[in-house]
Chain A
Amino acid sequence: MTPFLEFLDVSFSYERNSVLQDLNFTMEQGECAALIGPNGVGKTTLLRLAAGIAACSQGSVSLDGRRLDALPRGEAARMVALVPQRFEVPFDFTVEQIVQQGRTPYLGLFSGFSRRDRIAVERALELTAVTSLRKRVFNELSGGERQRVKIALGLAQEPRLLLLDEPTQNLDLGRQLELLDYIRVLNDEGVTVLAAMHDLQLIPGTFSSVLLLGPDQEIRKGDPQDLLQPDILERAFDCPPRRHPKLVVENRILLERTP
């Protein structure tokens, strides 16, 4: 069986600086994976490659057995959506107007919104619980609300693979847990999820697997309980001994509550 997402010997360089080197991993359909690794190791780049908005300098990225670089952009956009970390909107667009943009891959230049487009937008708003915010101006929302709108925007694309870049960043504890609930709901709906995560404590209970991108460009994949081990994390994140992230696995204050 061909894997759903496949990175095969992928290298990426930006202005002669090599960012990623000879990366190999696969994801199955329906997986919910957390991408972790130290700052600047290339997590965002990896997500951009998976979304097909950056092209690898060597190797290939395939989605459902088809190479992304051979797919027309519009078709790829109907399969995979990336929810970016940074998202600035210069004008006062409402939540609804923003989420509608997610339908762009389904629309011609002149065709109007079809019934199917509207339903997709409604579903996206509902799944992320922002239906009541639809007429509000995006720039006036709180951080947690904005994060959910961004995910709704991704969902409106009706992707089979949803890529999230640090979705819990800048959120308070309650909003972080809330966001994880939404990610679980989406995953239950059959969306394959790959999310770059900074807070390792949030991973067990939500994510079924972990992709660890180490500083030496080696990528490891495994179950959360296997990979979130002090010795592994200590090396990957270059933590001094005694302050190493033993907490992550032992102190499960947050995670006990999760179903």
Chain B
Amino acid sequence: METEIAEKTASGSSTRVYLSILAFLLVVLAGVLVLSMGMGATKIGVREVLTSLLIGHGSGSTDSVILFEIRFPRVLASVLVGAALSVAGLLFQGLFRNPMADPYVIGSSGGAALGAGIGLFLLPRFSFLGFGAAAAMAFVGSVATIALVYWLARTNGRVPVVTLLLAGFAVSTMLSYSTYFLVVLDDNFGLRTRVLASWLTGVISVPRWTQLEVTAAMIGSGLVFCFPLARRLNTLALGDDYARQVGVQVEKTHLAIILAGSLLTAAAVSLGGVISFVGLIVPHMARLILGPDHVRLLPVTAIAGAIFLVLADTLARTMLAPSEIPVGLLTAFIGGPFFLYLLRRTRREYTL
């Protein structure tokens, strides 16, 4: 009898449901990927996409060149950026104990973009193990920004919505205008200017394979790094004091969260620039379905984030074809009102 109760309470009753959700999302992701690769100026049927993917590069047809040189890298980039931004949002919401935190809102995307811009300017040829200066500096920029906002917004171990939003707003405004200043400084209007300008609005262009490899490595290690933090995020949600009381090393854990979140943000930004609100929408949706347990939220958020951004980017490049809308513009259109709705709700729920 006792065991029976115990088994049931090991959150076991809904484990099956959870795994089905996870499997369902993976299937949706696969479907979205195939469909998205078929869409664009040249329509490619589902069967052609699948056979091309199975056969590989070899076939040499125009379709297969388009798929492998253009569509596949871009869709893959969307997957990476969407997963990274969503998980970073989840981490920052846990860190600030606040559902309004997101890499864009708290300025870490802006910090990463400025860092990447500076890297691109000062050390365009620097490279270490395939990591260019831009990616490395994006990481530095993100860490520095979160550290600053964390320091500005925290009062007595709590981060009230108001101070978080104000600090995040002020810091990210400064950062984005600094990045804009770099664009102005750069008077040759070459590739560098275009890259910088696209970082400001958020554009997923067709990345080079080396670039994809580097960011995939960053995001992969960021995600792996997250898993042991997920349980800690649950404990931290009950407050720093409580977490300390049950033996969690609060400061070290906060630092680990900042580093992991920054790694993810930096990778996402160096690939797609500042894409707003993804890290807000996706974790919120996941939380509505699964509840607040971070251990369960983490994989779902990553996959759902990938789906969300693949869809958004597909829309962005097909809606007004042949011209493209920056995907950052699209997520801002969706995310802005959503952000306001959340703000309204949050204000009602917690009088902070």
Write the residues of chain A forming the contact surface with B, with a CB cutoff of 8 angstroms.
Answer: 48, 51-53, 72-74, 76-77, 81-82, 84, 87-94, 96-98, 101-102, 104-105, 107, 109-110, 113, 115, 118-119, 121-122, 134, 139, 153, 157
Q: How far is the CB of A255 from chain B (nearest CB, A)?
A: 32
With CB as the reference atom, state the residue of chain B lying closest to A92: B292
- Interface pair B247/A119, CB less than 8 Å apart: no
Chain B positions 295 through 315: 1 when the CB is less than 8 Å from some CB of chain A, otherwise 0: 000000000000000000000
Question: A104-B246, A134-B9, A157-B246 are known contacts. Are A115 and B97 too (CB-CB below 8 A)?
Answer: no
- Interface pair A122/B9, CB less than 8 Å apart: yes
Question: A51-B245, A73-B247, A157-B246 are known contacts. Are A98 and B238 too (CB-CB below 8 A)?
Answer: yes
Q: State A115–B350 Cα separation when bound (angstroms).
A: 36
Question: A53-B244, A97-B234, A109-B228 are known contacts. Are A91 and B3 too (CB-CB below 8 A)?
Answer: no
With CB as the reference atom, state the residue of chain B lying closest to A116: B6
Q: Which residues of A contact B9 (CB under 8 A)?
A: 96, 118, 121-122, 134
Q: State A102–B246 Cα separation when bound (angstroms).
A: 7
Q: How far is the CB of A100 from chain B (nearest CB, A)?
A: 8
Chain B positions 224 through 242: 1 when the CB is less than 8 Å from some CB of chain A, otherwise 0: 0000100110110111011
Interface check B248, CB cutoff 8 A: yes
Q: Which residues of A contact B7 (CB under 8 A)?
A: 118
Q: State A94–B245 Cα separation when bound (angstroms).
A: 21
Going nearest first, the 5 A-B pairs with the smallest beta carbon separation are A91-B292, A74-B247, A118-B6, A104-B246, A77-B247
Q: Which residues of B contact A72 (CB under 8 A)?
A: 247
Q: State A91–B297 Cα separation when bound (angstroms).
A: 13
Other than A81-B245, A91-B292, give 12 A-B pairs with Cβ distance below 8 A: A52-B245, A73-B247, A87-B238, A88-B350, A90-B237, A91-B237, A98-B238, A109-B232, A110-B228, A118-B7, A119-B2, A134-B9
Q: State A93–B239 Cα separation when bound (angstroms).
A: 13
Interface check B10, CB cutoff 8 A: yes
With CB as the reference atom, state the residue of chain B lying closest to A126: B5
A91 touches which of B232, B249, B287 (Cβ 8 Å): B287
Q: State A115–B97 Cα separation when bound (angstroms).
A: 30
Q: How far is the CB of A171 from chain B (nearest CB, A)?
A: 21
Q: State A58–B95 Cα separation when bound (angstroms).
A: 33
Question: A122-B6, A122-B9 are known contacts. Are A84 and B241 too (CB-CB below 8 A)?
Answer: yes
Write the residues of chain B forming the contact surface with A, with a CB cutoff of 8 angstroms.
Answer: 2-3, 5-7, 9-11, 97-99, 158, 228, 231-232, 234-235, 237-239, 241-249, 287, 291-293, 349-350
- Interface pair A101/B241, CB less than 8 Å apart: no
Q: State A148–B265 Cα separation when bound (angstroms).
A: 41
Number of A-B contacts (CB under 8 A): 90
Q: State A12–B243 Cα separation when bound (angstroms).
A: 22
With CB as the reference atom, state the residue of chain B lying closest to A120: B6
- Interface pair B246/A97, CB less than 8 Å apart: no
Q: State A87–B242 Cα separation when bound (angstroms).
A: 9
Q: Which residues of A contact B5 (CB under 8 A)?
A: 122
Q: Which residues of B contact A73 (CB under 8 A)?
A: 244, 247, 249
With CB as the reference atom, state the residue of chain B lying closest to A118: B6
- Interface pair A101/B238, CB less than 8 Å apart: yes
- Interface pair B246/A101, CB less than 8 Å apart: yes
Q: Which residues of B contact A52 (CB under 8 A)?
A: 245
Q: How far is the CB of B139 from chain A (nearest CB, A)?
A: 24
Q: State A81–B249 Cα separation when bound (angstroms).
A: 16
Q: State A110–B230 Cα separation when bound (angstroms).
A: 10
Q: State A74–B241 Cα separation when bound (angstroms).
A: 14
With CB as the reference atom, state the residue of chain A lying closest to B297: A91
- Interface pair A88/B235, CB less than 8 Å apart: no
Q: How far is the CB of A252 from chain B (nearest CB, A)?
A: 36
Q: State A77–B246 Cα separation when bound (angstroms).
A: 5
Q: State A118–B169 Cα separation when bound (angstroms).
A: 44
Q: Which residues of B contact A107 (CB under 8 A)?
A: 231
Q: Which residues of A contact B6 (CB under 8 A)?
A: 115, 118-119, 122
Q: What would 26 A/B residue contacts be, using CB atoms closer than 8 Å?
A: A53-B245, A77-B245, A77-B246, A77-B247, A82-B245, A84-B242, A88-B158, A88-B239, A90-B97, A90-B98, A91-B287, A93-B291, A97-B291, A97-B292, A101-B234, A101-B235, A101-B242, A102-B246, A104-B243, A105-B246, A109-B232, A115-B3, A118-B7, A118-B9, A119-B6, A122-B2
Question: A90-B98, A90-B237 are known contacts. Are A118 and B246 too (CB-CB below 8 A)?
Answer: no
Q: Which residues of B contact A121 (CB under 8 A)?
A: 9
